[in-house]
């Protein structure tokens, strides 16, 4: 498919290239979507608080829900305002946020998501609880493969080309580091889609900073590896502490 040169160029006027590089939301639509998201978060938090109150469980103060909504609204408005000074919010970025939200909901609000955490936490306990461990493994790999394929399409669209080396380099390192830095345990059973997004922000900030300092690629690899190693050490120590206290 890549031909004798090992490279294929994508036409710039193709819809996928335009989607990844040239489609941006107008500011009014970006502000509207951000407002709807904040409203949805408030409704979700209030509904959850009411359910917990009916079940006799503790609920957080209403002021915390309001404060959370205000902080998210301010951050979203500031980001949209800053991006509007150039071309605006990219549609591809909106797709990325939607995918993160869908996966976060699937992991926390569905039986499949709870089974994912159960299998990751203790395979034998999950099997004895009646969970089809093999089906969970297969479904998790299928979802990961679909998302990786979509990421590959977006990468090729942004580069307007695909080659044998596309997706190489630090791609795997960055993907693993983003998840671990965000709090996902390499030992399984802990983590979330939103925390992985936070890890992406951290790792890309490190990469951008090292690039602006004009450091060599080997230095970038070492710094990224050191950050990943630190995150793994913290994860291992926290897991050992939880095991000691019977909360692992």
The sign of the dihedral angle between the CA atoms of 113, 115, 121, 123 is negative
* Helices first, then strands: H and E counts in the chain: 10, 4
Beta strands, E only, the chain: 7-9, 24-25, 89-90, 161-163
Q: Decide: 88 and 22 in contact? Cβ < 8 Å.
A: no
Residue bearing tokens 């909360």:
247
pLDDT of the residue at 243: 58
Name the residue ranges covered by the structural domains of the chain: 13-91, 110-166, 168-248
Residue bearing tokens 């300092």:
213
For residue range 146-166, list pLDDT tens digits in order. 998 898 888 888 888 888 777
Residue bearing tokens 């407002």:
35
Sorted by sequence, the CB contacts under 8 Å of residue 210 that are 6+ apart come out as 219, 220, 223
User: What is the C-alpha to C-alpha distance for residues 113 and 193, in angstroms, rounded to an integer?
Assistant: 11
User: What is the C-alpha to C-alpha distance for residues 195 and 212, in angstroms, rounded to an integer?
Assistant: 26
Q: Decide: 173 and 218 in contact? Cβ < 8 Å.
A: no
pLDDT of the residue at 140: 92
pLDDT band at 83 (very low <50, low <70, confident <90, very high): confident
**pLDDT greater than 70 at residue 244:** no
* Geometric angle at alpha carbon 128, from 122 and 134, rounded to 5°: 70
Question: Distance of CA 156 to CAs 146, 161, 166, 200, Å?
Answer: 15, 5, 8, 19
Strands 161-163 and 7-9: antiparallel
Identify the three-state secondary structure at position 60.
coil
Provide the percentage of residues in the chain whose pLDDT is more than 90.
12
pLDDT of the residue at 143: 93
Task: Provide the whole-model pTM.
Answer: 0.80
For residue range 189-203, list pLDDT tens digits in order. 778 888 888 888 888
Query: In the Cβ-directed half-sphere of 94, how many Cα atoms lie within 13 Å?
Result: 17
């Amino acid at each position: 498919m890549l031909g004798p040169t090992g490279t294929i160029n994508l036409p710039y006027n193709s819809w996928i290239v335009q989607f990844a590089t040239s489609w941006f939301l107008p500011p009014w639509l970006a502000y509207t979507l951000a407002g709807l998201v904040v409203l949805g978060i408030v409704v979700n938090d209030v509904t959850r608080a009411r359910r917990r109150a009916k079940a006799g469980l503790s609920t957080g103060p209403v002021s915390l829900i309001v404060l959370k909504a205000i902080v998210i609204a301010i951050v979203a408005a500031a980001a949209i305002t800053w991006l509007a000074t150039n071309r605006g919010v990219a549609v591809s970025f909106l797709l990325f946020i939607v995918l993160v939200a869908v996966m976060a909901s699937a992991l926390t609000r569905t039986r499949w998501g709870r089974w994912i955490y159960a299998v990751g936490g203790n395979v034998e306990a999950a099997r004895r609880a009646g969970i089809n461990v093999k089906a969970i493994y297969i479904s998790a790999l299928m979802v990961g493969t679909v998302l990786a394929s979509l990421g590959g399409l977006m990468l090729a669209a942004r580069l307007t080309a695909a080659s044998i080396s596309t997706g190489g380099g630090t791609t795997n390192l960055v993907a693993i580091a983003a998840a671990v830095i965000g709090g996902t345990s390499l030992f399984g059973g802990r983590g979330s889609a939103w925390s992985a997004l936070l890890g992406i922000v951290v790792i890309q900030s490190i990469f951008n900073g090292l690039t602006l300092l004009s450091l060599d690629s080997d230095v970038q690899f070492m710094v990224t590896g050191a950050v990943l190693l630190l995150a793994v050490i913290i994860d291992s120590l926290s897991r050992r502490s939880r095991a000691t206290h019977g909360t692992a």
